[in-house]
Amino acid sequence: MALYSNYSEESLTALRVELEQQLALYKSENLDLNMARGGKPCTQQLDLSNGLLDITIPYETDPNKDYRNYGTLEGLEETRQLFADILEVKPEEVIIGGNSSLNMMYSTLAKAMLFGTIGSERPWAQEDKLKFLCPVPGYDRHFSICELLDIEMISVPMTQDGPDMDLVESLVREDASIKGIWCVPKYSNPTGITYSDDVVKRLASMETAAKDFRIMWDNAYVVHDLYDESTSLYNIMEACRDAGNDNRPYLYTSMSKVTFAGAAVAAMATSKANHEFTLRIMGVQTIGSDKINQFRHVEFLKDMAGVKNHMKKHAEIIRPKFNKVLSILSKELDGLDIANWSKPIGGYFINLDVMQGCAKEVVATAESVGLKLTPAGATYPYKKRPKR
């Protein structure tokens, strides 16, 4: 296909008429498609986990062992073991939360605002200025947390290997008000890329002006391969330990896109000191999280092999959908030089970049024919894409 930029005005006008006719045809089909929240599993995917609902809880006479009773602030041992295997950390580094990893991330930052964190001179809320680095495009709900807590967001472009590390290093070295960075290191939301070993090591070892700098390592898609092949991710806990920055990373994940979205189990993992700090406050927030659901998840998934096997079933359902979207994008847009899109091998998203100034209109046009997309700019801090 010829580049649109090489078209004469006359041919562009003719093309416009042709495309408007095509649009009218789509409109007449009364489509009702929703791709706005790619992170929402379909019914068929949810059905894969219906077995969870049939698992009965063994009743124990010893109240300390009874899943129906209070106890075990940091979570059941067997659930911590399962998440330790998923996050490649030690079980004693894991804290099980409630149903949402996002809630745990919010809670980590809210604690830092109120009390500071290991290495802080004062509660973050008492600092004159607070900033966070946000690799873009990124997960909108991370950005919403910063906005709510009045943490200024600095966008850092993503490359094929992760955030632009030259820029990250130079920013954090100079500015003590930069307290952290958001990372979705595997099958990143929304670009689908996995951080390279070099990026992980540089994040772990870089010199930061802030003594209490934190990496918010949201590994939401750690087991979400679309194919048999997987990408490997260097172990951030190990890398930080090797660099003498043990307290730098906070890792998170959940079963939201493994079993039931919003009704599963979430977990975090961090250093011993951060762990103790977190539990001390968490023990005031709650007596403990839902052990019945924790037990059911381990009974249902068993171990890492069980998780992988279950995720293969998800992949069988969603891979054809990814392939369909990719083949349509390729058929309609290849060679026109008007759009680029990601071709992920895991995660939940396809990221489509269109020409400067066109994104809002693309989303509105899609909506006018019954296809809902994520709002333009949603994956950028303050919902604004910086000019390219």
Enumerate binding residues for ligand PLP (CB under 6 A). Answer: 39, 100-102, 139, 184, 189, 218, 220, 254, 256, 262, 266
User: 39 or 116, CB closer to ligand PLP?
Assistant: 39
Least distance between ligand PLP and beta carbon 96 (Å) = 12
Least distance between ligand PLP and beta carbon 219 (Å) = 9
Least distance between ligand PLP and beta carbon 18 (Å) = 38
CA 55 to chain centre: 29
Among 306, 237, 303, CA closest to 274: 237
Least distance between ligand PLP and beta carbon 143 (Å) = 11
Least distance between ligand PLP and beta carbon 153 (Å) = 16
CB 258, CB 301: distance < 8 Å: yes
Q: What is the 3-state secondary structure (H, E, C) of the chain?
A: CCCHHHCCHHHHHHHHHHHHHHHHHHHHCCCCEECCCCCCCCHHHHHCCHHHHHCCCCCCCCCCCCCCCCCCCCCCHHHHHHHHHHHCCCHHHEEECCCCHHHHHHHHHHHHHHHCCCCCCCCHHHCCCCEEEEEECCCHHHHHHHHHCCCEEEEEEEECCEECHHHHHHHHHHCCCEEEEEECCCCCCCCCCCCCHHHHHHHHHCCCCCCCCEEEEECCCCCCECCCCCCCCCCHHHHHHHCCCCCCEEEEEECCCCCCCCCCCEEEEECHHHHHHHHHHHHHHCCCCCHHHHHHHHHHHCCHHHHHHHHHHHHHHHHHHHHHHHHHHHHHHCCCCCEEECCCCECCCCCEEECCCCHHHHHHHHHHCCEECCCCCCCCHHHCCCCC
Among 303, 297, 290, 301, CA closest to 75: 290
Least distance between ligand PLP and beta carbon 185 (Å) = 10
Least distance between ligand PLP and beta carbon 92 (Å) = 22
User: 165 or 222, CB closer to ligand PLP?
Assistant: 222
Least distance between ligand PLP and beta carbon 297 (Å) = 13
CB 96, CB 79: distance < 8 Å: yes
User: 256 or 294, CB closer to ligand PLP?
Assistant: 256
Task: Give the strand pairing for 339-341 and 352-354.
Answer: antiparallel
Least distance between ligand PLP and beta carbon 336 (Å) = 30
User: 132 or 139, CB closer to ligand PLP?
Assistant: 139
